[in-house]
């Protein structure tokens, strides 16, 4: 066991985690110098970000002695911090990577605290020292001042060229402790991830704390008591490699013909059915979804297939939740919960790419607390469940404590942005002269749609955001219904602050006017709060030129033709049913959350 090291790489998005992981793979002899091996998902390559935590076991020789390094590459985006916390539970140490050109950023700080919460040994590392505008001295000072490390603990590397990676490997051996556990004790293994395989069923990723696991063992999950017989155990190289046995301290996987994805809970403890351990490993903090949206199949017959896909997706992404719901406009579907908007986008993309699902997603909403006149407090995440306004005493919206880190040149732009989002400014901190942290409280609804993109554009890409939910606060929230030809479309209704409802509704109707095709009759688009119409648009009808064949002649003949056309249009309007194309739903996702349009 003293030849094993379990560690993770944590960093802010784009600081070079996946590139460093590739250098480790080269040292372990698994790949010839290549690029981004661990980011194997098509989406990860497209977007250049890590979404899933990827484990890999490497044999690395140092001074003639062979060591087993279990490396878990983690995501850096704020929406995937749950992935990071799961990965850290399986490790004894973490490499904290900081970009020499960007310095300490919001997620660097958040991930450092996550690692400290899990009692991990942290090795601070400055990356990208080969880049010409790298500020190694300034970054080093930030790591010391903001994160509290000592100057001599910091290592300097270039993950791209491989410079300094050998020193990092030695530091891992010296500083990160070997795992401890008793191979002879009853089995105690932590489930930190899983995925579904068509032939093997659920593949369970585990970190063995005590005992051993091998083929033929009868195991049980401690959270639900379900028992299975182990079919295969193994470790992660570039692919899964079967082994005879997994022992205390190791990271690997097992399969046991588990057909129902819901039997496996991330954070659960696995033990032997006939000789169980006394108590389970303390679980992860449960992830609470922050953003909710409806997901519906385009073809209503594919409801069951969508359900299976969501169950499989939930296996390796427990931060995502779902429950069935129905909509008059879209039929049967699911109400899904996500960590944030990027998480929602990624989940929808994965459903399309990995599972081939054609789906429609509704407007994202947050969860509101509503105090009713009878004293009850209910929480709703779906505008369709909004109670009768006459029964409501007060509505509370979720508030987050947010911090934005930027160069001082952009303070004015950022203050303007947060003021437009109903934020309450708290303080400004100067960790060093080139960096300022603005802290503020802001309603979650205000930052879930396009806040991150707007922040990037007003700070030329330098702004970084981190936020944490702090509680609910009373607010003037209203439900806005969207009506097409005076018929409310439940899937398009949304909740917004009273001040902003008009701007959001108007911008939504303008977009819809462009994407709903013209018909032979007029289509009216309206936004209403209760019975009060707050915005209106119309889609003009096509008009057939019925007078084209009339060359001169009696005017009464022309009038007769026009009257006949008018009657026909009235009739059409009565029986006409407007088809709303998929783009109408997608376009709403990008509606600016209340930017005033002059």
Is 128 labeled as ligand-binding? yes
Say if strands 212-214 and 245-247 run parallel, antiparallel, or are unpaired: antiparallel
Q: What is the DSSP string of 347-416?
A: HHHHHHHTT---EEE---B--EEEEETTS-EEEES-GGGPPPGGGEEEEEEEEEEEEEEE-GGGHHHHHH
- CA 22, CA 32: separation in Å to the nearest integer? 9
Burial class (CB within 10 angstroms; exposed 0-12, middle 13-18, buried 19+) of 1: middle
Is 18 labeled as ligand-binding? yes
Burial class (CB within 10 angstroms; exposed 0-12, middle 13-18, buried 19+) of 303: middle
Unique residue bearing structure tokens 């009657």:
567
Q: Which residues contact 492 (CB under 8 A, 6 or more apart)?
A: 329, 362, 363, 482, 508, 585, 588
Is 180 labeled as ligand-binding? no
Is 16 labeled as ligand-binding? yes
- Short-list 433, 425, 427, 435, CA closest to 405: 435
- Short-list 573, 456, 514, 6, CA closest to 250: 6
Is 218 labeled as ligand-binding? no
Is 167 labeled as ligand-binding? no
Q: What is the DSSP string of 290-316?
A: -EEEEEEESSGGGHHHHHHHHHHHHHS
- CA 50, CA 84: separation in Å to the nearest integer? 11
The widest CA-to-CA distance across the chain, in whole angstroms, is: 106
**Alpha carbon distances (Å) from 344 to 167, 336, 362, 470, 496:** 39, 9, 11, 21, 19
- Short-list 560, 506, 547, CA closest to 529: 506
Is the sign of the CA dihedral 145, 147, 148, 149 positive or negative? negative
Q: Three-class SS of residue 13?
A: coil
In degrees to the nearest 10, what's the CA dihedral of 190, 193, 196, 202?
0
- CA 123, CA 116: separation in Å to the nearest integer? 12
- CA 292, CA 302: separation in Å to the nearest integer? 21
Q: Is the distance from CB of 418 to CB of 451 less than 8 angstroms?
A: no
Q: Three-class SS of residue 152?
A: helix
Which uninterrupted H or E stretch holds 67?
Answer: strand 65-73
- CA 95, CA 90: separation in Å to the nearest integer? 14
CA angle 414, 418, 424 (to 5 degrees): 125
Is 426 labeled as ligand-binding? no
- CA 425, CA 443: separation in Å to the nearest integer? 12
Say how many CA atoms lie within 13 Å of 185 toward its Cβ.
Answer: 14
Is 362 labeled as ligand-binding? no
**H helices present in 444-576, as ranges:** 444-447, 451-458, 498-515, 555-575
Which phi and psi angles does 265 have, rounded to 5°? -110, 130
Known binding residues for GTP are 14-19, 127-130
Known binding residues are 14-19, 127-130
């Amino acid at each position: 066991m003293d030849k094993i090291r379990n560690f993770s790489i944590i960093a802010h998005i784009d600081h070079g985690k996946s590139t460093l992981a590739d250098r480790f793979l080269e040292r372990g002899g698994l790949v010839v110098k290549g690029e981004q091996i661990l980011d194997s998902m098509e989406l990860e390559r497209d977007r250049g970000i890590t979404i899933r935590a990827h484990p890999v076991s490497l044999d690395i020789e140092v001074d003639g002695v062979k060591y087993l390094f279990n490396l878990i590459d983690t995501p850096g985006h704020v929406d995937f911090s749950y992935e990071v916390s799961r990965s850290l539970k399986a490790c004894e140490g973490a490499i904290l990577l900081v970009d020499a050109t960007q310095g300490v950023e919001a997620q660097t700080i958040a991930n450092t605290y996550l690692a400290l919460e899990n009692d991990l040994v942290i090795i601070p590392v400055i990356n990208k020292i080969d880049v010409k505008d790298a500020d190694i001295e300034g970054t080093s000072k930030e790591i010391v001042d903001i994160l509290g490390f000592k100057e001599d603990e910091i290592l300097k590397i270039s993950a791209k060229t491989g410079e300094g990676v050998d020193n990092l490997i030695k530091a891992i051996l010296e500083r990160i402790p070997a795992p401890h556990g008793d191979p002879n004790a009853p089995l105690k293994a932590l489930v930190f991830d899983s995925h579904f395989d068509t032939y093997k069923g659920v593949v369970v990723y585990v970190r063995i704390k005590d005992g051993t696991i091998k083929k033929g063992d009868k195991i049980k999950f401690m959270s639900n008591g379900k028992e299975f017989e182990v079919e295969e155990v193994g470790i992660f190289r570039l692919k899964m490699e079967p082994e005879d046995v997994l022992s205390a301290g190791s990271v690997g996987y097992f399969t046991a013909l588990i057909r129902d994805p819901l039997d496996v809970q991330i954070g659960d403890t696995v033990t032997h059915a006939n000789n169980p351990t006394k108590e389970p490993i303390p679980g992860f903090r449960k992830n609470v979804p922050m953003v909710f949206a409806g997901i519906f199949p385009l073809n209503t017959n594919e409801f069951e297939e969508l359900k299976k896909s969501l169950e499989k997706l939930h296996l390796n992404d427990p931060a995502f939740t779902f429950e069935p719901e129905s909509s008059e406009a879209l039929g049967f579907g699911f109400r899904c919960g996500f960590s944030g908007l990027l998480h929602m986008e990624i989940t929808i993309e994965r459903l399309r790419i990995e599972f081939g699902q054609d789906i429609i997603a509704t407007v994202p909403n947050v969860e509101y607390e509503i105090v009713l006149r009878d004293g009850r407090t209910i929480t709703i995440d779906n505008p369709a469940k909004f109670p009768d306004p006459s029964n409501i005493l007060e509505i509370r919206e979720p508030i987050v404590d947010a911090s934005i880190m930027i160069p001082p040149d952009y303070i004015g732009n950022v203050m303007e942005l947060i003021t437009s989002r109903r934020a309450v400014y708290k303080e400004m901190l100067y960790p060093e002269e080139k960096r300022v942290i603005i802290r503020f409280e802001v309603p979650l609804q205000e930052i879930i749609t396009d806040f991150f993109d707007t922040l990037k554009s007003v700070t030329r890409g330098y702004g970084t955001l981190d936020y944490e939910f702090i509680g609910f606060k009373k607010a003037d929230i209203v439900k806005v219904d969207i009506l097409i030809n005076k018929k409310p479309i439940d899937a398009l209704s949304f909740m917004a602050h009273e001040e902003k409802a008009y701007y959001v509704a108007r911008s939504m109707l303008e977009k819809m006017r462009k994407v709903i095709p013209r018909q032979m009759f007029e289509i009216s688009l309206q936004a209403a709060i209760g019975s009060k119409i707050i915005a209106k648009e119309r889609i003009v009808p096509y008009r057939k030129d019925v007078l084209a064949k009339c060359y001169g002649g009696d005017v009464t003949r022309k009038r007769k033709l026009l009257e006949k056309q008018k009657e026909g249009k009235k009739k059409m309007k009565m029986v006409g049913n407007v088809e709303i194309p998929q783009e109408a739903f997608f376009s709403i996702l990008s509606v600016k959350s209340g930017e005033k349009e002059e």
